[in-house]
Amino acid sequence: MTDDRVEFAKMNGLGNKILVVDMRGRKDQVTPEAAIALNADPDTRFDQIMAIHDPKAAGTDAWIDILNSDGTKAQACGNGTRCVVQALAAETGRKAFTFQTVAGILNAREHEDGLISVDMGEPVFEWDKIPLAEEFHDTSRIELQIGPIDNPVLHSPSAMSMGNPHAVFWVDRDVNSFDLERFGPLLENHPMFPEKANITIAQVTSPTTITTRTWERGAGLTLACGSAACATAVSAARTGRTGRKVTIAVASAIPPGVLELEWRERDNHVIMTGPAEWEWSGAVSPKTGDWSRDAENGAEAR
């Protein structure tokens, strides 16, 4: 490893491709140029980078800087947070962690069965805090549609923030039957969302189960998105489609998997529980994105 390179791990949460980069002890950051270069390589393609920095606030274990695959910053990533917990738990033997992100403080814990719970905090419903470009008294159903006015393909999403903006479109048939790869970019960049938005298609399949697909802001069509699962669970309960505890099946996840979500009544916090998986580790330049794979994983350099 050269002096410029730091350790990183290729991981995933329900197929959500994550790079966990260890920036502790350094003052620099993973650059947008490095992120774009890493995403351009099929071996290191990712949805989010979770860069672990030294803590900024007392009582926290780390500051987490989150980057999307296009090099932009992200405020929250639930699946990525679970990957960070698994990596640090393996390193330290600890089970509970407190992280600080742009979106706020996150508490997380690894359970004995290997599943990881993350307290994603409280959802935000006020239109100007999501934010939306227009005022809506009730953001559980906003005026927005794709397709013909008299027969829209998608319409009337629930809007909210989980530290990042979300729009959840409710459908009554298989979520895979919608061309999200076509509609996703249009909706992500719609003028209604001044900071863009994560776009989810959701089908309630029972009073306690939901199936989703998500177009992720700054990352595109993703295999899974933890904050979108949180937004879907909260929006389903908020609109009376389900109760406050649901299982969300992520239609695109490989292998197929589920997340357990609870919108806790006592404090309105959203608790997300699910798996994380380590794939391989290596070293990477946070400036350029040049990387190499650890020898025990098969030496390889880029």
What residues are labeled active site? 77, 225
Distance CA 301, CA 102 (A): 32
Residue 27, judged by CB atoms within 10 A of its CB (0-12, 13-18, 19+), counts as exposed
Distance separating alpha carbons of residues 92 and 295, to the nearest angstrom: 22
Rounded to whole angstroms, how far apart are CA atoms 274 and 165? 22
Contact 101, 74 (CB under 8 A): no
Rounded to whole angstroms, how far apart are CA atoms 211 and 160?
Answer: 19
**Residue 95 CB neighbours (<10 A):** 14
Burial class (CB in 10 A: 0-12, 13-18, 19+), 114: exposed
SS3 16: strand
The two tokens of residue 247 are: 């299982």
CA distance 283 to 2: 9
CA distances from 58 to 61, 85, 180, 269 (A): 8, 19, 42, 22
Single-letter amino acid code for the residue at 258: V
Q: Quick check: 64 and 53 in contact, CB under 8 A?
A: yes
**270's tokens:** 């959203």
- What is the C-alpha to C-alpha distance for residues 204 and 212, in angstroms, rounded to an integer? 9
Cα 278 to Cα 12: distance, rounded to the nearest angstrom: 7
